């Protein structure tokens, strides 16, 4: 199976993705890490040097490459992945997509520590500014995220909660 994790920055896609891959004994890939490896520079550097549009094109290309190369894996996407270049259709058509719907105040708590290394959040580091920015971003992205067949709405989506969701989905499928 291909399992895709989508959701806002700080939702835990990378963290939970690793745990799920271990639990299901599947390869794990993080889309940002795959882009960074190919570009030999950080996501922040890509944004600063070539802009978001360039990043989104690389993201779309690398997503399709990864999907073609792995018939089964757990893939942590970037927060914006499903919202550009028809990437959501690729995800929906080639695997099981899980939306980690973590409430904004919890995202704020998690991201305050790491905002400086995340280009779309770097300019918004006070808790209030970060919250405003995240609410705006979520409002624009929700219609993409909510098309995922699986959604975890627990404030802290634990590995166990997510595994139960997937087991229930697979039993019904
Ligand atoms: N379930 C969780 N509970 C508490 N903190 C978490 C949880 N999942 C992730 N975090 C923390 O939140 C931050 C962002 O997690 P990360 O997995 O990088 O999210 P994403 O890839 O969705 O942006 C990290 O500091 C991580 O340790
Ligand atoms: O939300 C976004 O647009 C982005 C989220 C990041 O990934 P995470 O969601 O893993 O932080 C990364 O892809 C890039 O900085 C853009
Ligand atoms: Mg991540």
pLDDT tens string 76-128: 999 999 999 999 999 999 999 999 999 999 999 888 877 666 766 755 568 88
CA of 162 to the centre of ligand 1 (A): 14
Q: Count of CB atoms within 10 A of residue 53's CB?
A: 9
Choose the residue to mutate in 4, 7, 12 for probing ligand 1, maximizing ligand atoms within 8 Å of C-beta: 12
Q: Is the dihedral of CA 101, 35, 96, 161 positive or negative?
A: negative
Contacts of 148 (CB under 8 A, 6+ apart): 6, 82, 91, 92, 97, 98, 99
Q: Show the tokens assigned to 43.
A: 């996501």
Mean pLDDT of the chain: 93
Name every protein residue with a CB atom under 6 angstroms from any ligand 1 atom: 7, 9-15, 76, 110, 114, 156-157
Across 16-20, 73-77, 169-173, least confident range: 169-173
Distance CA 19, CA 157 (A): 12
- Identify the structural domains of the chain with CATH numbers, from first to last: 2-161 (3.40.50.300)
ipTM over 0.95: yes
pLDDT tens by residue, 40-55: 999 999 999 999 999 9
List CB contacts of 92: < 8 A, sequence separation 6 or more.
147, 148, 149
DSSP 156: S
Q: Computed from CA positions of residues 173, 161, 104, 111, in that sequence, does the dihedral angle turn out positive or negative?
A: negative
User: Could you say which DSSP state residue 11 is in?
Assistant: S
């Amino acid at each position: 199976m291909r399992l895709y994790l989508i959701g806002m920055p700080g939702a835990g896609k990378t963290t939970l993705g690793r745990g799920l891959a271990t639990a299901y004994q599947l390869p794990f890939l993080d889309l940002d890490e795959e882009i960074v490896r190919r570009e030999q520079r950080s996501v922040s550097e890509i944004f600063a040097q070539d802009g978001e549009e360039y990043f989104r094109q690389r993201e779309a290309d690398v997503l399709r490459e990864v999907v073609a190369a792995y018939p089964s894996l757990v893939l942590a996407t970037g927060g914006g992945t499903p919202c550009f270049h028809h990437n959501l259709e690729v995800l929906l058509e080639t695997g099981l997509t899980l939306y980690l719907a973590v409430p904004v105040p919890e995202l704020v708590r998690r991201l305050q520590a790491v905002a400086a290394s995340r280009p779309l959040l770097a300019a918004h580091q006070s808790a209030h500014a970060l919250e405003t920015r995240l609410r705006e971003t979520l409002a624009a992205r929700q219609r993409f995220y909510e098309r995922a067949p699986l959604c975890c709405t627990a404030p802290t989506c634990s590995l166990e909660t997510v595994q139960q969701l997937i087991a229930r989905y697979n039993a019904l499928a």
